[in-house]
Amino acid sequence: MAAASGNRARDKYSVLLPTYNERENLPLIVWLLVRSFQESGSNFEIIVIDDGSPDGTREVAEQLEKIYGSDKILLRPRAKKLGLGTAYIHGMQHATGNFIIIMDADLSHHPKFIPEFIKKQKEGNFDIVSGTRYKGNGGVYGWDLKRKIIRLYRKEVLQKLMEKCVSKGYVFQMEMIVRARQLGYTIGEVPISFVDRVYGESKLGGNEIVSFLKGLLTLFATT
């Protein structure tokens, strides 16, 4: 048991965050991610894979890198949009964690669920933990088939699945879970809510927005 708990203490979580025109959302999603990891006491890094966004997303990511430190925020951009699947492959090449988390940068998933993913993985020693809208108190608001899904993977499992997957874009994540089942990987599920943004505006609560702005002002004042 001591060895197992020692290994868990060394666990590190790499978040792969593909972005395209997410200048407004990126500071908030990063702040929420950092808060979730810090509250759960988990070691983490956030890898921002920007695909040549014309709206200044890359410049925002560069600022976030300075604020939080280049050990926590890693900007690994690409010249243009090349598809979701290849963005994850690109991000994986720079990930140093033994677990990988993939999620949206558009605030359709709330990072507050990440500690639940980590807890579920440890409870069942799962290869993959997936967010599901069909269990418990998980809900869906404005969700459609294109909506990407938040997931946690063992790094080596994700690497193996990426070798097998042929899809690009949105279908990529669907194929990943089908291949995982074919290969016999264990999959845990956590009930989460999906919130689809409306005209680029997030549906986060007002208190969270206020907390974020206060936190951002503090960061700028102390860096």
Structural domain boundaries, residue 84: 2-222
Q: What pLDDT shows up at residue 198?
A: 37
Q: pLDDT tens for residues 158-179? A: 999 988 877 666 667 778 888 8
Spatial distance between the Cα atoms of 214 and 134, rounded to a whole number of angstroms: 35
Q: What pLDDT shows up at residue 194?
A: 60
User: Coil, strand, or helix at residue 154?
Assistant: strand
Q: What pLDDT shows up at residue 222?
A: 52
Q: What pLDDT shows up at residue 89?
A: 87
**Which residues in the chain land under pLDDT 50?**
1-6, 135-147, 197-203, 223
Q: How many domains does the chain have?
A: 1
Q: What pLDDT shows up at residue 129?
A: 95
Q: What pLDDT shows up at residue 9?
A: 59
Q: Domain holding 93: CATH number?
A: 3.90.550.10
Q: Are 103 and 147 in contact (CB under 8 A)?
A: no
Q: What pLDDT shows up at residue 136?
A: 46
Phi, psi (deg, nearest 5) at residue 38: -65, -40
